[in-house]
Amino acid sequence: MFRADLHCHSTCSDGTVSPQDLVRLAKTVGLSALAITDHDTIDAYLLAEPVAREVGIILGTGVEFSCDYKGKSVHVLGYGFPYNDPQIHNLCMRHQERRKNRNRAILDKLQRLGFALQEKEISQDGVPVGSMGRPHIAHALVKRGIVHSMKEAFNLYLGEGKCCYERGEPFGIPETLDILHAAGAKVFLAHPHLGEGLCKVKELLEMPFDGIECYYARCYPEQEKRWLKLAKDRGLLISGGSDFHGDFKPYITLGCSWVDEETFHQIFPNL
Ligand code: AMP
Ligand code: ZN
Ligand code: FE
Ligand code: FE
């Protein structure tokens, strides 16, 4: 049976599995197609593509952009753009700069609490990654024995609104949607159940999204049904995936959420 996981993270952002190994893992777990959706970078695609051809996985381009909406974080998924699109590349570069400044600000706040982490500790086993963020800082706090788990790091220090949280330079949803659309991408509102409820989702969907991420790991069936109905009522596309992060979220397996062949081809008509 055709299954496509359209939401996962590699070592190019806050996943712990390399793009090449993600594709191999996709094959092992019986997926037919995959889109790697790293936070604010598309670097994984070029690394993964030759392996996808070798092992027989259909690989689509993907990205998960961090946006700000009224001071809160919203994630936007983009699919099916040319991987060498200059405007998307430029947006990724701006995000990398934002992340560098933001990580530094978070480390400053932690230092004021007496937790002096070095910038070089914020890496995957010493290897610097592209989109570094709060999970890397959380992991470093665990390694230092300052917290017991990454979850605790978010609950105590790094989660939205906690004492060491930094929003960083905000990127708006309209600008992000414009850039993705200009590149021919289909754009989805990611994991709507993690937001502030149906009203907020409806408000967000006033913006020109192409679809909603309806299938998601650890999303309850009644939540899925709610998003599927909303997509149908509004004539929006459906997407889905696991949001696999490897060891950073060990309770989520690649392929545990997926879309079927018809849904996949609505998002990737050229594949
Ligand atoms: P960042 O892109 O640096 O803002 O980090 C966002 C990522 O951190 C999310 O995509 C999740 O992978 C992870 N994350 C956010 N909140 C939590 C949490 N409460 N517990 C564990 N991981 C989280
Ligand atoms: Zn993540
Ligand atoms: Fe997300
Ligand atoms: Fe994600």
Enumerate long-range contacts of 151-157, CB under 8 Å, 24 or more apart: 157/110, 157/113
Distance of CA 250 from the midpoint of ligand 2 (Å): 13
The alpha carbon of 88 and the centre of ligand 1 are apart by a number of angstroms equal to 22
The pLDDT confidence band at residue 219, using thresholds 50, 70 and 90, is confident
pLDDT band at 128 (very low <50, low <70, confident <90, very high): low
The mean per-residue pLDDT over the stretch 244-256 comes to 96
Whether the predicted pLDDT of 78 surpasses 90: yes
Q: How far is CA 218 from CA 25, 50, 181, 222, 249, in A?
A: 20, 31, 29, 11, 12
Mean pLDDT of the chain: 95
pLDDT at 74 over 80: yes
Bridge partners for 58 per DSSP: 33
Angstrom CA distances, 39 to 110, 179, 208, 269, stand at: 23, 16, 21, 24
178 Cα: distance to centroid of ligand 1 (angstroms): 25
Ligand 2 centre distance from Cα of residue 75 (Å): 10
Return the amino acid letter for 176.
Answer: T
Q: Ligand 1: which residues within 6 Å by Cβ?
A: 14, 39, 66, 133-135, 150-151, 154, 159, 245
pTM of the model: 0.97
What's the CA-to-centroid distance between 236 and ligand 2, angstroms? Answer: 25
Q: Which ligand 1 atom is at minimum distance from the Cα of 132?
A: 3
Q: Shortest CA distance to 135 belongs to which of 8, 47, 14? A: 14
- pLDDT tier at 125 (50, 70, 90 boundaries)? low
Percentage, residues of the chain above pLDDT 70: 98
Average pLDDT over residues 245-254: 96
Q: Are strands 4-5 and 33-35 parallel, antiparallel or unpaired?
A: parallel
Closest listed residue to residue 228, CA positions, set 204, 209, 212, 207: 212
Cα 92 to Cα 87: distance, rounded to the nearest angstrom: 9
Protein residue whose Cα sits closest to atom 13 of ligand 1: 135
Res 231: pLDDT: 97
Alpha carbon nearest to ligand 1 atom 20, residue: 151
> Is 123's pLDDT higher than 80?
no
Q: Could you tell me the pLDDT band of residue 146, with boundaries at 50, 70 and 90?
A: very high
For 88-122, how does the pLDDT look when each residue is reduced to its tens digit (9 = 90+)? 999 999 999 999 999 999 999 999 999 999 888 88
Q: How confident is the model at residue 126 (pLDDT cuts 50, 70, 90)?
A: low
The contacts of residue 152 (CB under 8 Å, 6+ apart) are none
Measured from the Cα of 137, ligand 1's closest atom is 3
Task: Among the bound ligands, name the one nearest to the CA of residue 66.
Answer: 1
Q: What does 153-211 look like in DSSP terms, one character per residue?
A: HIIIIISTTSTT----S--BHHHHHHHHHHTT-EEEE--GGGSS-HHHHHHHTTS---E
Which residues neighbour 10 within 8 Å (Cβ) at sequence distance 6 or greater? Answer: 17, 18, 19, 22, 36, 38, 44, 48
